[in-house]
């Protein structure tokens, strides 16, 4: 194969229109192990393929990118930087986006190497072109550029290069191209800031974060929506949350929720504000967040009761997040009738609405009812039992009916509710008092497809995780559950067949 590659390279160098030879070379390098390619293709020989990118023939560019994408893998990142730096930089300015992406991916390889990054830091002209790619029209090119720059920022030297050199001005110039590009730069800044308090300090000192925070209350509603998403991402790290608290952002967002009633455009950004506090509550403390910012939980309840389908989904997701923790359950329980009313509304949505809202309601209810064995206390078991009973006058029948409908997502969402309560004794007794339930659990004909089978298997596993299941379900049912678990989710019993072919 090495001889064939040599021959094809020779033919390509002599051809005026080498597209057929390039196709053959692409096939050859794809079929050759990387170890063999390393021996037969030197960086010097790659120069020929790089030179053939300088054409308006899109097919030729496409095949060259395929070849280079394969063969550049054999080069050590340092070797790549030393021998192909100019070619890669040229690729960043190529009119074809696939060449830009190829160049950015290879530069990321170099940056990710402990010695290769030094080569890049000594080539600010290459890094400048990487920054300019953040402003590319195609999002795929911009994503690769953001990834490379984010990787660069994992070192102090990289942070210095990006935020304490002429490259900072380049980054700010790119930021001024448009609203869309500005938010790509914010995306990079948030990614970098999330790594460590030191990284956050660089971004804050460069004024990027203060500019982002100002956009929370900007005139453009759509810009405000995107700013809220970015700030929510920044709050994923503990040092990010501490910084936002120091800047008074939690109070500002709480005030925005309070003032939402007087803003006719609040429906656009309100879900983002609620998501911000929902994530904050789960990462820190549901009780602390809900007590410190009461406007948040009040708005969640309001949105859950709102007939506007754009408001309800985020309320359901947030209630599921909160109720998925013991502390969150206790916070919701303290609201008394207010939460009970919301829970009944969730039940109605689960039985009669669009498929998406039904599924989200069921999944939120499952999170509310989940209570692992190590968290089970008498009080919490009474709480989940009371919440389940609020779903309907016959909640077991209600969930069973949903599970039998011909929609896989509804079937699985309903099964998740049974799985959520399966290790709780009150639920096991309720299951056994429901006619046919024990047989239905081990009936493999119920539910088609991999997801449905996986969900049923999880339900069986959850039942068997409880020490009380044998006593409550009885020995015979217990053995059937054990057999189901041992056989796995996709077991199919063999059926004997008798043929009468040829009989008189």
Q: Which of 2, 12, 5 has the alpha carbon at shortest distance from 49?
A: 12
pLDDT at residue 33 in the model: 84
Residue with the bigger pLDDT between 11 and 234: it is 234
Query: What secondary structure does DSSP assign to 7-57, as a single string?
Result: HHHHHHHH-SSTHHHHHHHHHHHHHS-HHHHHHH--HHHHHHHHHTTSSS-
Q: What is the token pair recorded at 419?
A: 């799985």
Query: Does the pTM of the predicted model rise above 0.75?
Result: yes
Least confident of 200-214, 259-273, 287-301: 259-273
Q: Express each pLDDT in 49-80 by its tens digit.
A: 999 999 999 999 999 999 999 989 888 899 89
Give yes or no for residue 497 having a pLDDT over 60.
no
Give yes or no for residue 502 having a pLDDT over 50.
no
Least confident of 4-13, 178-187, 303-312: 4-13
Q: What 3-state class would DSSP assign to 217?
A: helix
Q: Which of 144, 140, 119, 113 has the alpha carbon at shortest distance from 131?
A: 144
pLDDT at residue 386 in the model: 97
pLDDT band of residue 1 (cuts 50, 70, 90) is low
pLDDT at residue 36 in the model: 80
pLDDT band of residue 34 (cuts 50, 70, 90) is confident
Average model confidence (pLDDT) for the chain?
Answer: 91
pLDDT at residue 43 in the model: 65
Q: How far apart are CA 142 and CA 178, in angstroms?
A: 14
Alpha-carbon dihedral sign for residues 288, 310, 386, 442: negative
Give yes or no for residue 191 having a pLDDT over 80.
yes
Q: How far apart are CA 36 and CA 283, in angstroms?
A: 50
């Amino acid at each position: 194969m090495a001889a064939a590659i040599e021959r094809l390279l020779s033919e390509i160098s002599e051809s005026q229109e080498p597209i057929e030879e390039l196709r053959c070379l692409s096939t050859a390098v794809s079929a050759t192990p990387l170890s063999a390619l390393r021996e037969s293709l030197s960086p010097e020989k790659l120069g020929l393929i790089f030179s053939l990118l300088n054409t308006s023939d899109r097919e030729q560019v496409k095949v060259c990118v395929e070849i280079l994408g394969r063969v550049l893998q054999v080069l050590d990142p340092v070797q790549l930087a030393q021998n192909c730096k100019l070619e890669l930089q040229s690729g960043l300015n190529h009119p074809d986006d696939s060449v830009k992406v190829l160049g950015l991916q290879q530069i990321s390889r170099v940056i990710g190497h402990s010695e290769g990054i030094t080569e890049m830091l000594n080539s600010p002209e290459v890094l400048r072109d990487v920054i300019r790619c953040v402003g590319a029209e195609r999002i795929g090119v911009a994503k690769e550029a953001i990834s490379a720059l984010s990787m660069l920022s994992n070192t102090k030297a990289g942070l210095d290069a990006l935020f304490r050199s002429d490259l900072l001005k380049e980054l700010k110039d790119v930021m001024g191209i448009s609203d869309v590009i500005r938010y790509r730069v914010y995306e990079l800044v948030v990614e970098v800031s999330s790594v460590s308090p030191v990284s956050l300090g660089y971004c804050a000192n460069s004024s990027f974060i203060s500019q982002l925070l100002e956009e929370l209350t900007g005139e453009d509603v759509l810009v405000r929506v995107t700013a809220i998403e970015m700030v929510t991402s920044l709050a994923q790290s503990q040092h990010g949350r501490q910084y936002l608290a120091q800047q008074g952002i939690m109070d500002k967002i709480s005030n925005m929720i309070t003032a939402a009633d007087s803003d006719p455009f609040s429906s656009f950004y309100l879900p983002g504000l609620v998501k911000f506090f929902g994530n904050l509550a789960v990462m820190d403390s549901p009780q602390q967040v809900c007590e410190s910012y009461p406007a948040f939980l009040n708005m969640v309840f309001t949105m859950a009761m709102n007939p506007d389908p754009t408001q309800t989904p985020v309320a359901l997701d947030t209630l599921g997040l909160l109720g998925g923790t013991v502390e969150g359950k206790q916070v919701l329980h303290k609201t008394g009738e207010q939460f009970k009313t919301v829970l009944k509304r969730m039940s109605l949505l689960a039985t009669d609405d669009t498929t998406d809202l039904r599924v989200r309601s069921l999944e939120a209810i499952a999170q509310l009812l989940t209570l692992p064995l190590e968290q089970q206390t008498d009080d919490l078991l009474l709480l989940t039992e009371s919440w389940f009973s609020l779903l309907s006058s016959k909640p077991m029948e209600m969930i069973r009916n949903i599970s039998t409908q011909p929609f896989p997502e509804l079937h699985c969402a309903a099964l998740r509710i049974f799985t959520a309560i399966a290790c709780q004794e009150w639920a096991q007794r309720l299951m056994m008092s429901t006619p046919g339930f024990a047989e239905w659990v081990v009936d493999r004909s119920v539910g088609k497809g991999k997801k449905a089978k996986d969900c049923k298997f999880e339900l069986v596993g959850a039942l068997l995780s409880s020490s009380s299941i044998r006593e409550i379900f009885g020995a015979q049912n217990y053995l059937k559950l054990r057999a189901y678990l041992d056989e796995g989710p996709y077991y199919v019993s063999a059926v004997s067949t008798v043929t009468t072919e040829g009989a008189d």
